[in-house]
Homo-oligomer: A and B are copies of this chain.
């Protein structure tokens, strides 16, 4: 009986995948669903906000917006990276306006209340005669922060699962790429008029590649995908790179390898729920942060990282890789925007996934589990 039942499914389809369809319309257009996502996902999950290479020294900081909240991310005098809400405890003023910089203390521009880099209130003029006032009660509100492979994550929730536990299933998986010591070469930000989930679904299949990415298709065949993470918050696998080729405009390697990579003819693509896309090439890493702005709009921050030694070589041509992926990114965002437009129609009905779309189906399953 078991054999007979199983035979009804083609080999390339897992049972969970059978009959899977794209999500109902409300998940892409409803302000209520969007608010629910901001509450259940973006205010409770660990979110990628950057890489430790952005804050090399004590006193360096950057400002980042997470779920509509401005946060100050700073390396304190003990070289620990911390995050605080960018809000003065006196009358609520924004503290830091600059996107990044170096500072010895955090002073409010309104009434000059001054905080140490670890958040303690150090100075508050004319508050001594306020009865019952104690500086110790007015530290900057801290935000949970952790590092994984050199990437900085924050979590706006109360008492979240430790970051190490969350990432335990990926332990050691990326050690060959030396991710924690890599250095950024370029950042590009994209304002995409599409729901954030469409970009995850787009990233998770190459069924669209022949028509949408002609130059990628020449270097990496669309049907070469082999997935090793097929369920849960971490999804993906690798695709083949044609012999002697690289994912660059010229087709040649553009930098020294990031580590002792075993299989040089492979590019690895992983989605890390809920806001990270990690693309590992032999000579560089590309990382996307996805920041939902509204049901129909997403800010995407894309960084390219190389090995520190690569920057010293005369053969270092990072633009060869950056331009390749910038072109490919824009092709993807365009079809995501077309999807957003069509899904808003009264004629839209969830449509059937093909056998090449098992990872988008798995992403949707995990998403629905979190939203439950």
Q: Are B92 and A335 in contact (CB under 8 A)?
A: no
B residues in contact with A22, CB < 8 Å: 90-92
Tell yes or no: A103 within 8 A of B by CB: no
Give A66 to B10 CA distance when docked, in angstroms. 42
Give A353 to B22 CA distance when docked, in angstroms. 54
Give A207 to B287 CA distance when docked, in angstroms. 46
Give A256 to B174 CA distance when docked, in angstroms. 78
Using known A-B contacts A10-B129, A129-B12, A141-B347, determine if residue A342 contacts B87 with beta carbons closer than 8 Å.
yes
Q: Are A126 and B339 in contact (CB under 8 A)?
A: no
Contact of A92 among B85, B95, B124, B351 (CB under 8 A): B351
Using known A-B contacts A112-B211, A130-B354, determine if residue A88 contacts B10 with beta carbons closer than 8 Å.
no
Tell yes or no: A54 within 8 A of B by CB: no
Do most interface residues of chain A lie in helix, strand or loop, or is the interface mixed?
A: loop
Q: Are A211 and B111 in contact (CB under 8 A)?
A: yes
Name the distance in Å between A13's Cβ and chain B's nearest Cβ.
7
| Chain A interface, number of residues (Cβ within 8 angstroms) | 63
Tell yes or no: A9 within 8 A of B by CB: yes
Name the distance in Å between A75's Cβ and chain B's nearest Cβ.
21
Give A304 to B361 CA distance when docked, in angstroms. 51
Using known A-B contacts A12-B129, A18-B131, determine if residue A111 contacts B345 with beta carbons closer than 8 Å.
no
**Contact string against B for A residues 194-214, beta-carbon threshold 8 Å, 1 for contact and 0 otherwise:** 000000010000011011100
Tell yes or no: A36 within 8 A of B by CB: no
Q: Are A354 and B112 in contact (CB under 8 A)?
A: no
Tell yes or no: A250 within 8 A of B by CB: no
Q: Would you list which residues of chain A between 207 and 226 have a CB under 8 Å from chain B? A: 207-208, 210-212
Q: Are B92 and A339 in contact (CB under 8 A)?
A: yes
Show 8 residue pairs from A and B whose CB-CB distance is below 8 angstroms, ordered by the A residue: A13-B131, A22-B91, A22-B92, A70-B341, A90-B351, A110-B208, A110-B211, A111-B208
**A residues near B, CB below 8 A?**
8-10, 12-13, 18-19, 22, 68-70, 85-95, 97, 109-112, 124-127, 129-133, 138, 141, 156, 201, 207-208, 210-212, 335, 338-339, 341-349, 351-356
